[in-house]
Amino acid sequence: MQDLSALQSDIEARIAAAQDLRALDEVRVAALGKKGEVSLKMRELGQMSPEERKTAGPALNALRDALDAAIAAKKAQLEAAELEARLATERVDVTLPAAPRPRGAIHPVTQVMEEMGAIFADMGFVVADGPDIETDFNNFTALNFPPGHPARDAHDTFFMKAELDGAPAVLRTHTSPVQIRTMLGQKPPIRIIAQGRTYRNDSDQTHTPMFHQTEGLVIDKGTHMGHLKGCLMEFVAAYFEREVEVRFRPHHFPFTEPSAEMDVRYERVGDEIRIGQGDKWMEVVGCGMVHPNVIRNCGLDPDEYQGFAFGFGIDRLAMLKYGMPDLRDFFAADARWLSHYGFPALSMPNLATGLS
Ligand code: PHE
């Protein structure tokens, strides 16, 4: 059995020399694999006499057990070293800044503009546009505000130093000048909405110097007040996504005759405003039949063409539907407010799948 102990120390030396798990496994296969040195020796037991086998058998078993143990020990040692090496290279630096989540949301004003656009598009309106800086003529004169008329003061107008068409330019006080631009630029029938920024020198919980309006204008033959009422009633039902009781109150605008304001029924339950029921009325839109003078100012014959117009405060509509109590927060550019009240960027409001 002299050669067995030589074999054992030879294999043990190779086990000790193995640099990694693969090299160790090669040593194992060469010694204990099917055709390994130890296995071949065990196969020789079959040709031995029973006497020889009595000593050779246990000696070979002992050799195999010793080698198994040596390999297992070396394997554990190599695995531990490998783990150490990995931990050293893959260390996580917890002081690095965290990867930011994608941020940003659609502002409620933009959301409501898109909702209004979807509803009026469904009724056959197209979108028209005009600039924030307007001529005095488009903002006032053509809309039947005579020069020097006190209604101009009522608008708290921001007049500019620069002149346009021979008069100080104004930041438009309403979207109604788009009515003039549209009637001067295209022939009836006309059915447009115009949305955008408007400006008045006014600031409190429900007024900001910059706010938003949606204008509507319909010009056609035989247009009457019933069309106006039906259009606005259909709008509020679609916008608030429920039955809403409305009332029309007589009002005055220079550019419509007759003029009205439409209120919606609501109630206050705690801090919450519930639209459509209750014992209170909230004004949501100014409207009326387009004044014959306005139609004439745009080169059309008021005996041939009539029409109606309306102007919504978008910010007010957004506050009512989405429960935001203070208008000034809308323009404070506070990311926390926007992430709370904002809308997902990829959901386009439409009537088929629901507006909001
Ligand atoms: N321009 C009016 C305002 O800003 C609203 C309005 C528009 C009223 C169209 C009647 C018709 O108050």
> Tens digit of pLDDT per residue, the chain (356 long)?
558 888 899 999 999 999 999 999 999 999 988 888 988 888 888 888 888 888 888 988 999 999 999 999 999 999 999 999 988 888 888 888 877 766 789 999 999 999 999 999 999 999 999 999 999 999 999 999 988 887 787 778 999 999 999 999 999 999 999 999 999 999 999 999 999 999 999 888 778 999 999 999 999 999 999 999 999 999 999 999 988 999 999 999 999 999 999 999 988 888 777 888 889 998 999 999 999 999 999 999 999 999 999 999 999 999 889 988 788 899 998 989 998 999 988 778 888 877 77
- Supply the pLDDT for residue 101: 62
Regarding the beta carbon of 256 and ligand 1, being less than 6 Å apart is answered: yes
pLDDT computed for residue 93 by the predictor: 83
138, 139, 170, 176, best to mutate for ligand 1 pocket (most atoms within 8 Å of CB): 176
Whether residue 315 contacts residue 202, with contact meaning beta carbons closer than 8 Å, is answered with: no
SS3 239: helix
- The number of residues making up the chain comes to 356
In a domain, 43, yes or no: yes
Helix (H) or strand (E) holding 319: helix 314-322
- Distance, in Å, from the CA atom of 112 to the CA atom of 355, rounded to the nearest integer, reads 9
* pLDDT on residue 337: 92
Please state the domain count of the chain: 2
Looking at residue 348, its pLDDT comes to: 82
Domain match, 245 and 123 both? yes
pLDDT for the residue 222 = 93
In a domain? residue 219: yes
Same-domain status, 81 and 116: no
Q: Is residue 30, in this structure, part of any structural domain at all?
A: yes
Is there a domain that residue 293 lies in? yes
* Protein residue with its CA nearest to atom 4 in ligand 1: 174
Domain encompassing residue 126? 108-341
Amino acid at 52: E
Whether the model clears a pTM of 0.85, i.e. scores above it, the answer is no
Assess contact for 143 and 209: CB atoms under 8 A: no
In-domain check, residue 353: no
Tell me the CA–centroid distance for residue 139 and ligand 1, in Å. 11
Residue type, 129: D
Residue 356 is assigned to a structural domain of this protein: no
Phi and psi dihedrals of 327, rounded to 5? -65, -30
The reply to whether ligand 1 has any atom less than 6 angstroms from the CB of 174 is yes
* Alpha carbon distance 303, 285 (integer Å): 27
Buried b / exposed e across 246-261, counting CB within 10 Å, b at 16+?
A: bebeeeebbbbeebbb
Q: Which of 56, 89, 122 is the last residue of a domain?
A: 89
Distance 51 CA to ligand 1 centre (A): 119
Judge if 27 and 164 occupy the same domain. Answer: no
Determine whether the shortest distance from the Cβ of 216 to ligand 1 is under 6 A.
no
- The CB density around residue 242, as the number of other CB atoms within 10 Å, is 12
